[in-house]
A and B are shown apart, each in its own frame.
Chain A
Amino acid sequence: MDQTTPARRTTVTVRPSSGWVSMRSRELWDYRELFYFLTWRDIKVRYKQTAFGAAWAVLQPFLTMVVFSLFFGSLAGISSGDVPYPVFAFAALVPWTFFATAVALAANSLVEQERILAKVYFPRLIVPAAAVLACLVDLAIAFVVLLGMMLVYGIVPSAAIVTLPFFVMFAAATALAVGLWLSALNVQYRDVRYVIPFLVQLWLFASPVAYPSSLVPEPWDALYGLNPMAGVIEGFRWALLGEAPPPGPMLAVSVAATAALLVGGLLYFRRMERSFADVV
């Protein structure tokens, strides 16, 4: 507050908390500026330190798409329906790369910023959340490339494209949910750091990036939605490429899975938060 106004003197009580603590959403709102600055810093630092800068955001999914097109699309002959395989794969790689990067950055965010955690108070939730949010810039850049590819292949998006913001938020929520769990666990158990690359790799093959989710036979496809990235990716494809049936039961299961992960992650994070400064 401006010090010229004899500000509202709120009294805060510091006391041991026990069990599951509340979300203190009011406090999060009070710290929105710090949230903004940390996100801004994460974006700035990421592009300053690299020689290629923003090109990485494109290069990584693009090269993956090339390799996938060659091996899965041409050699293995995986069907991508009516859509050319490269666009099919890239439409999935855009949200997937976002998710993979965001999870890895969020998971390491608390440990990397241990100095701040040990010296300054603020709601710790801001740190992994800012890491996830900063990755949206990568997503936006890659998305522009995707639009270019669609133009080249002459794919016109249907009206379903209006649902795209929902799927972007869905992807961010999923990344945050996983990031919250991993970042809090990482403070306590440093093995998490080694688990992340492996986890992300496994998750890639368990998600319909290189193949369509229709490969999963009928009674199981809803179950497949338990992997929330299945819902996110199929949602992206549907919104952009206008593949015929909108993802139904599978998407519902995915949304429910993300919601459960996110609520659990928030609760776990809040519970562990108070000891971060002591342990990190």
Chain B
Amino acid sequence: MPDVAVRAVELGKIYRIGERQSYQTVRDVVAAAARSRLRRLSRRSGAAPGAGPSTRGEWVWALEDVSFELGEGEALGIIGRNGAGKSTLLKILSRITEPTKGFADISGRVGALLEVGTGFHPELTGRENITLNGAILGMRRAEIDRKFDDIVSFAGVERFIDTPVKRYSTGMHARLAFAVAAHLEPDILIVDEVLAVGDAAFQKRCMGKMGDAARSGRTVLFVSHNMAAIESLCSRAIWLEGGRTVADGAPAEVISRYLGTCLSVLNEHVWPEPELAPGNERVRIRRAQVRPEGGDPSDQITVATPFVIEFEYWNMRADAHLNLSLHVYNEQGVIVFNAVPTEEAVWQRRPFPRGLFRDTCHVPGHLLNDGVHRIELLVVEDLSRVIHRMEDVLVFEVRDADESRDGWYERRVGAVRPRLAWETEHLIAVDAAARRDG
């Protein structure tokens, strides 16, 4: 039975709007005091930091009523939009700032990585910065000495260890900073988006380190916008919105709910009344839908999922020669493909009677790259005339799939992401050939 490592009870934090940036001058304070006195005279004051809705007067609850219990060894991912309160939560748990209400019990040594390289001084050498940064992060001196060589080789800066870090390249600086952080071994590790440093190869090593921490029974709290990272590292996820917990549960589930609201995804559209439906006197659209093969429109589509694009439409005129044409766009506005029913066997090149028709286009898995895609619908008559056109009739997201990433955390480039057959053959063994010749 694991012990509780973090217990947060109704944590709340109120900020004055803009407070974080605005230190004051005495003049401001005097002016504000005068203003508030005037305001109090003119009406009853309403801008008090009381409970209630998220915004009231000049005060904002950056975090409100957040409660959870985290067992020892659990890895919690925290997701949400910018300003949802993720960083505030981490700052409270790492004691940088105090909650306005509620409390949290934290048992064990906390290591907080809210930024890589905190306290790095450009004038000091790599060696000196490792010591200093380690101490700032909460390492004991003996611990730093013991891990020193590992840190240096992890960062790959052996040759420059006695050079002031102001002469380091950005990459070296980031690697050294992360290397120190990665060797922190607290009971509870709090990490905020520090993976956004270095090149892909270094990122991979960082993720490996994070994974090690999570697997070795350390309690981890991890804020990231990288859903794939959260899903593969965390055993649980919390979704914050406007300072409140919206969902708490298995990462895959929480993430898909989050992404569902995050993008203006439009996986299904129904127009029950033909008179109000988009179209004209020749054709009216009734329903548009994109869903995984054998699933529902609300189910998620990953790069590996085969899915269908389906349209139902009323043909208003007898003996019309109609066909649909779909343009699938990616986020860059590139048409990834154009689908037309050339493979359709029954109604191709036959005149349509009046009535309701349904076209289903089957898209195989391992075709599209991840990202948001938009579908433009064209209704074509006689293979040449576009009689109706709808932009963005469907918007859907293809998500990155954990299994197809293979340790690569950068986005794969390209409009498509096919899985291709590939062979590598060892044709000539140079060592053996040399031996034969000699």
Contact = CB atoms under 8 A, between A and B. Distances in A.
Do A and B come from the same complex?
yes
Interface string A161-193: 000000000000000000000000001111100
Contact of A16 (B99, B109, B112, B164): B99
B240 interface: no
B115 to A, nearest CB: 5
Given A1-B140, A33-B140, A14 B25 contact: no
Nearest to B111: A120
Interface stretch (B40-48, B123-131, B323-331): B123-131
Interface stretch (A42-50, A95-103, A227-235, A254-262): A42-50
Interface of A: 1-3, 7, 9-17, 33-34, 37-38, 40-41, 44-45, 48-49, 113, 115-122, 187-191, 274-275, 277-280
B96 A277 contact: yes
Given A2-B142, A9-B108, A14-B92, A278 B23 contact: no
A33 B98 CA distance: 24
18 contacts: A9-B108, A11-B106, A13-B103, A16-B103, A33-B141, A37-B132, A38-B132, A44-B123, A116-B119, A117-B96, A120-B118, A120-B136, A187-B23, A189-B23, A189-B25, A278-B15, A278-B20, A279-B23
Nearest to B5: A9
Nearest to B131: A37
A11 B115 contact: no
B248 interface: no
B392 interface: no
B124 A41 contact: yes
Nearest to B146: A2
A98 B286 CA distance: 83
A121 B97 CA distance: 8
Interface in B285-326: none
B149 interface: no
B124 A280 contact: no
A120 B140 contact: no
A41 B114 CA distance: 22
Contacts of A44: 123-124, 128
Contacts of B108: 7, 9-10
A199 to B, nearest CB: 14
A120 B98 contact: no
A45 B124 contact: yes
A189 B31 CA distance: 13
Given A13-B103, A41-B124, A279-B23, A34 B135 contact: yes
Contacts of B15: 278
B93 interface: yes
A117 B114 CA distance: 11
B65 interface: no
B48 to A, nearest CB: 16
Contacts of B104: 13-15
Contacts of B131: 37
Contacts of A278: 15, 19-20, 97
Given A15-B103, A33-B135, A189-B25, A119 B19 contact: no
A45 B164 CA distance: 11
B381 interface: no
Contact of B112 (A1, A45, A120): A120
Contact of A49 (B101, B106, B123): B123
Contact of B100 (A7, A16, A33): A16
Given A48-B123, A188-B24, A120 B109 contact: no
Given A13-B104, A187-B23, A120 B135 contact: no
A120 B123 contact: no
Given A33-B135, A44-B128, A17 B118 contact: no
A250 to B, nearest CB: 33
3 interchain residue pairs of minimum CB distance: A15-B103, A121-B95, A37-B135
B122 to A, nearest CB: 9
Interface in B128-167: 128, 131-132, 135-138, 140-143, 164
Contacts of A34: 135-136, 138
Contact of A12 (B25, B106, B115, B132): B106
